[in-house]
Chain A
Amino acid sequence: MSAPTGTKVPPTVKGRADLALNDEFLRKAVKFTTERLRNGKHAATAEHGNWEEWRERGRQIRLHTIAHLDYYLNLFADNARANGVHVHFASTAAEAVKVSLAIAKQVKAKSVVKSKSMVTEELHLNHALEGLGIEAIETDLGEYIIQLAGETPSHIIIPAIHKNRFQIAELLSKEAGETLEADTTILAGFVRKKLREKFLEADIGMTGCNFAIAETGSMVLFENEGNARMVTTVPKTQITLMGMERIIPSWSDLEVMATLLPRSATGQKLTMYMSGITGPRRDVDADGPDEMHIIIVDNGRSNQLGDPEFQELLNCIRCGACLNACPVYRHIGGHAYGGTYSGPIGAVLTPALQKNVGDWDDIANASSLCGACYEACPVKIPLHEMLIYLRRRKQEGGHRDLAEAGGMKGFSAIMGNSGRFKGVVKLGKLGQRLVSRNGEIRLKLGPLKGWNSYRVTPSLPKQSFRDKWGTLEEELRHGLNELSPDARSRMEQLVRSREQDGGGHGHG
């Protein structure tokens, strides 16, 4: 689904990752761009200062809104309607597609210009529109490029991160009917001219929604190119698709989101354009849509509500910072994840939205649990912990890998008892005699195959620590130094404070 049409896509993350790992250009391109974005974010957050306080504020606003989502979403819908917007609710992707198509048919649309929207990717809406003979044109430069290539976005912010300018020049030349030089300015210039015509003749403008403001029924879009402004200014009909969790209470809260989102996404203080749209054009206005529809989409989102381990997923503001921070994403790119959303957020969101943990076989395994995603997240979603919860649910739900389950049973049998642990270490020392040379094991067989394809394994030493302990303790019993009075009093103080208030240290 995400590779060029006609190519066979491996069914697992591991298989798709292997393809990506063997694509030298892809790896370089993804590394280069994510590194730049990551450095940009570091610089922007450091310059702004107090980043932890802003993150915490952003998290609190999102937590509050989601905890009262029925109130705020209802308020938003009522206010948007009062602004003259036609509001629709879609529980499933199919329902959202149905409403979109009904509107397109009613206004006899021939073409739809779209600005970037991950929700429409979720719905595969372009495909559905084309089924009715309606041309759907992506107008974000990156989205336009991958649409021409017949692909899907591989990064939430930089959708064509995996293409180089020669590949892009080839795609655009085909569209232009002449050979375009692989020069960014020339290529972008061609797209500007080509899409200008499309904007002016389109019947429908279709957008996503970064934030929806409950108290005034407004929807807010962040962008750099101006295509979202085009789409919401020029065509007669506007359709906005928004995830039901995009809500924030007020414009005051938007200041916090506007502080967090661009800095986290691209390292910008603010995107070149931030637009708040409150209803269709007023009667006296000479531009803006005559008719505006907002389709509020659930499509699995509400399943996270009331789930203490996953509700915070709905706090996501779709900035892509976790992708840029993720060392796994950097090596395999977005398509390897196999869903609409990629990177750490995709690894959790995709199975969570679809509630089919078993089918998303290995997606949760594509993480070393390093926590870089959590550290990068502007609203502090603990993605690295959610990945563990997913793995637990998968195996508790009976979707276990038999070899792994057997291994884990063995693990608990050995590690549940120190005598058995000691015995196994001893057995290991005996067993390794067959394969160990000069203190190293280089064998690429059985469980060591993957590991030893990149590494050498050290052999077990003759004596384990517990074998040595007796002698060591005996030796140290003599000539022990004195603990400094300072350290002693600090230690005593710590023990006391634990007894008093249960106060600890470290992380939460």
Chain B
Amino acid sequence: MKVSLFITCLSDAMYPRVGEAMVRLLAKCGVRLDFPTVQTCCGQPAFNSGYWKEARESAKTILDAFEDSDFVISPSGSCTGMIHHYPKLFENDPVMLARANKLQQKSYEFTQFLVQVLGVKDVGAVYPHKVTYHPSCHGSRLLGIKEEPLELMRHVKGMELVPLPFAEDCCGFGGTFAVKMADISGAMVTEKADHVLETEAEVLVGLDLACLMNIAGNLRYRNEPVKVMHLAELLYEGVKQA
């Protein structure tokens, strides 16, 4: 059984520690990940901006990378969500469409795989801190990942999970949106960070690095000390502490 890591370009270049935490956690659960290095980016930035030809170039590296994999796991609901758009992206190319459908079926976001497939709810983590959780839009709305992360967090010993007000509201990232509509995006992320601060949590946790980079960037800009982590990092920290 070949279980492959779809690292996503952002985690690869910017947050390797998240990929590492994921790899180590899964190893603990008995899953040895394979990492095909031909992968680059899922193509979402181009796809969402309407540049589908360019998106296909990038998507092809993902299709090539995971051709022989049985399961493809990523630390992002958004990038896994993009794979769910591949059939639409390749709708006019029957050969690629077939490959796209196959890849969609075997792609999972990290918590989805952990809970739904491995049946793991308790990774044995201890994390005695006050934490709040931002459910990213693409993971929760497009992939329906709502219960899985909560289930995992409920089993972390010593952790206090405080609800984030207006949790389901978008953080304002939206890819090129944050650049093209910088002021609207800025207003959105400021509001999101306000809500995070309201909880008085020490840590903000989430499942999508782009959203987390956005919120963390605003918190840092305001010199707020809230720590921002991917759930894989938090769980791995907790396992180390246990």
Answer whether A and B touch in the complex at a CB cut-off of 8 Å: yes
Chain A residues with CB below 8 A from B31, complex form:
483
Provide the main secondary structure of the chain A interface. Answer: helix
A390 to B17, CA, bound (A): 37
Given A487-B119, A504-B105, CB of A476 within 8 Å of CB of B23:
yes
* Min C-beta distance of B35 to chain A, whole Å: 5
Q: Which of B57, B168, B180 contacts A416 (CB 8 A)?
A: B57
Which of A101-109, A215-223, A406-414 forms part of the interface with chain B?
A406-414
> Is residue B236 within 8 Å, beta carbon to beta carbon, of the partner chain?
no
> Is residue A327 within 8 Å, beta carbon to beta carbon, of the partner chain?
yes
Q: Which residue of A lies closest to B27 (CB)?
A: A476
B29 touches A411 (CB 8 A): no
> Is residue B24 within 8 Å, beta carbon to beta carbon, of the partner chain?
yes
A254 to B174, CA, bound (A): 37
Chain B residues with CB below 8 A from A328, complex form:
181, 184, 188
A412 touches B46 (CB 8 A): yes
A490 to B37, CA, bound (A): 28
Q: Which residue of B lies closest to A416 (CB)?
A: B57
B13 touches A454 (CB 8 A): no
> Is residue B76 within 8 Å, beta carbon to beta carbon, of the partner chain?
no
> Is residue A118 within 8 Å, beta carbon to beta carbon, of the partner chain?
no
* Min C-beta distance of B209 to chain A, whole Å: 10
A411 touches B45 (CB 8 A): yes
> Is residue B129 within 8 Å, beta carbon to beta carbon, of the partner chain?
no
> Is residue A252 within 8 Å, beta carbon to beta carbon, of the partner chain?
no
Which of A164-172, A293-301, A457-465 forms part of the interface with chain B?
A457-465
Q: Which of B54, B112, B188 contacts A331 (CB 8 A)?
A: B188
A487 to B115, CA, bound (A): 10
Given A481-B29, A504-B104, CB of A440 within 8 Å of CB of B48:
no
Count of chain B residues with a beta carbon within 8 Å of a chain A beta carbon: 94
- Interface hits, B38-62 → A, CB 8 Å: 38-41, 43, 45-55, 57-58, 60-61
> Is residue A395 within 8 Å, beta carbon to beta carbon, of the partner chain?
yes
A454 touches B32 (CB 8 A): no
A405 to B24, CA, bound (A): 39
> Is residue B7 within 8 Å, beta carbon to beta carbon, of the partner chain?
yes
- Interface hits, B149-172 → A, CB 8 Å: 168-170, 172
Q: Which of B16, B184, B216 contacts A366 (CB 8 A)?
A: B184
> Is residue B199 within 8 Å, beta carbon to beta carbon, of the partner chain?
no
* Min C-beta distance of B120 to chain A, whole Å: 8
Q: Which of A375, A412, A447, A476 has the most CB of B within 10 A?
A: A412
Chain A residues with CB below 8 A from B175, complex form:
368-369
* Min C-beta distance of A414 to chain B, whole Å: 7
A415 touches B57 (CB 8 A): yes
Chain B residues with CB below 8 A from A365, complex form:
176-177, 180-181
Given A411-B45, A412-B54, CB of A371 within 8 Å of CB of B144:
no
> Is residue A450 within 8 Å, beta carbon to beta carbon, of the partner chain?
yes
Given A418-B61, A456-B220, A494-B117, CB of A428 within 8 Å of CB of B40:
no
Q: Which of B7, B184, B216 contacts A332 (CB 8 A)?
A: B184
Count of chain A residues with a beta carbon within 8 Å of a chain B beta carbon: 89
* Min C-beta distance of B228 to chain A, whole Å: 10
A472 touches B183 (CB 8 A): no
Chain B residues with CB below 8 A from A417, complex form:
40, 61
- Interface hits, B77-136 → A, CB 8 Å: 84, 101-102, 104-108, 112, 116-120
B119 touches A481 (CB 8 A): no
> Is residue A193 within 8 Å, beta carbon to beta carbon, of the partner chain?
no
A374 touches B48 (CB 8 A): no
A366 to B185, CA, bound (A): 9
What 0/1 readout, one digit per residue, does chain A (46-64) give for beta carbons within 8 Å of chain B?
0000000000000000000
A506 touches B104 (CB 8 A): yes
> Is residue B235 within 8 Å, beta carbon to beta carbon, of the partner chain?
no
A368 touches B105 (CB 8 A): no
B32 touches A476 (CB 8 A): yes
- Interface hits, A240-266 → B, CB 8 Å: none
* Min C-beta distance of A100 to chain B, whole Å: 37
Chain B residues with CB below 8 A from A367, complex form:
174, 177
Q: Which residue of A lies closest to B166 (CB)?
A: A35
B1 touches A327 (CB 8 A): no
> Is residue A362 within 8 Å, beta carbon to beta carbon, of the partner chain?
yes
- Interface hits, A332-391 → B, CB 8 Å: 332, 362, 365-372, 374-375, 388, 390-391
> Is residue A5 within 8 Å, beta carbon to beta carbon, of the partner chain?
no
> Is residue B204 within 8 Å, beta carbon to beta carbon, of the partner chain?
no
A17 touches B50 (CB 8 A): no
A395 to B54, CA, bound (A): 12
> Is residue B66 within 8 Å, beta carbon to beta carbon, of the partner chain?
no
A473 to B33, CA, bound (A): 9
Given A332-B184, A453-B186, CB of A464 within 8 Å of CB of B16:
yes
Sort A-B residue pairs by CB-CB distance and give the 9 closest, nearest first.
A450-B182, A368-B174, A455-B217, A391-B50, A483-B30, A504-B105, A370-B170, A412-B54, A454-B186
Q: Which B residues have a C-beta under 8 Å from some C-beta of A?
A: 1, 7, 9, 11-17, 19-20, 23-24, 27-32, 35, 37-41, 43, 45-55, 57-58, 60-61, 70-71, 84, 101-102, 104-108, 112, 116-120, 137-138, 141-144, 168-170, 172-191, 213-214, 216-218, 220-221
Q: A405-B51, A480-B27, A507-B84 are in contact. List 9 more A-B contacts (CB 8 A).
A: A371-B138, A396-B50, A412-B58, A454-B182, A454-B189, A458-B213, A476-B23, A491-B117, A507-B143
Q: What are 24 A-B residue pairs whose CB atoms fall within 8 Å in the complex?
A: A368-B173, A368-B175, A368-B188, A372-B137, A392-B50, A408-B51, A411-B58, A413-B57, A418-B39, A421-B41, A453-B186, A454-B182, A454-B217, A455-B214, A461-B15, A465-B7, A466-B35, A466-B37, A468-B20, A486-B119, A492-B1, A495-B1, A498-B105, A498-B106
